[in-house]
Amino acid sequence: MLTRNLAVCSLLLSGVFAAPPALADLIFSSPPRESRAKGEEVYQPIADYLSRVAGQKVIYRYPENWLVYQRDMQRGDYDIVFDGPAFIGWRQDRQGHVPLVKLPGKLSFVVAVKKEQEKIQELKQLAGRAVCAFPPPNLATLTVLYEFDNPSRQPLIVETQSFPEAYKGVMNGKCVAGILQAKMYEKLAAEQGGARVIFSSRALPNQAFTAGPRLASDLKDKITAALLSPEGKIATQKLRGEFKVEDFEPATKAEYAGLGKLLRDTWGFDLAESR
């Protein structure tokens, strides 16, 4: 009997003094807009910093392409993400992600045609016509395509890799129209002329960091404060340099609410009911 009691006590004490289970790694990612080497150069310092802040390992995962990025997002692999408002709105609505900090300023886009193109006076007239633009799910393109209610009556996207390339495609007749960021259009129009705007989008909130449901609320608050701190500014220096901004600023859920609808025609995001 004594031996049995000692064994029970030993088991109880081993439970009391056992080390707590290790915390699972957190996965941090961002769209594959750059090479793997460039992605690691920009985002690995942030992952290292957030690991120290969180007290658990934050792993930067570079997605090999957009399909991998979308697949991994849709199945909920990502705990911390830096990307644009359409994806943020979708994760917020579907996965419980919360915006933490964002780049300052707004994002707005225009559709431009040549001045002498008199046949095209409004956006819907571009259905079935060649439009130079980044391929979806680029935000500029998603924002414009959302204006076309009928999936069978949309512009034909001629893929470009930059806004100046889209402008050039309009000017040389490769495309009837081009989709550009509003500020870039203003710059190119002032330098080169020859174009006019037939559509201007509403302003959208900028790119932001979000955190998912595997992070407790107090940890999300801690990461938000850390990214806005002087130490956070050092960790995000290369990222901010890519977008030519001095600081991040706090982000709110209200800013991104409903923006996932821009992904309604993007495979796997299942937002048809948001039309």
- Tens digit of each residue's pLDDT (9 = 90 or more) over 9-30: 444 444 444 444 456 899 999 9
Q: Are 227 and 209 in contact (CB under 8 A)?
A: yes
Which segments of the chain have a pLDDT < 70? 1-23, 270-275
- Nearest-angstrom CA–CA distance, 103 and 51: 22
- Nearest-angstrom CA–CA distance, 75 and 91: 11
pLDDT of residue 84: 98
- Nearest-angstrom CA–CA distance, 265 and 142: 9
Question: Do 26-105+205-274 and 109-201 come out as alike in CATH topology?
Answer: yes
- Tens digit of each residue's pLDDT (9 = 90 or more) over 193-233: 999 999 999 999 999 999 999 999 999 999 999 999 999 99
What are the residue boundaries of the structural domains of the chain, listed by start?
26-105+205-274, 109-201
Q: What residues have CB less than 8 Å from 197, skipping those under 6 apart?
A: 110, 111, 112, 185
Residue 248's closest CA among 226, 215, 265?
Answer: 226
Eight-state DSSP code of residue 220? H
Residue 80's closest CA among 212, 205, 206?
Answer: 212
Q: Could you tell me the fold of the domain covering 109-201?
A: D-Maltodextrin-Binding Protein; domain 2 (3.40.190)
Secondary structure percentages of the chain, helix, strand, coil, to 5 = 45, 20, 35
- Nearest-angstrom CA–CA distance, 139 and 95: 20
CATH of domain 26-105+205-274: 3.40.190.10
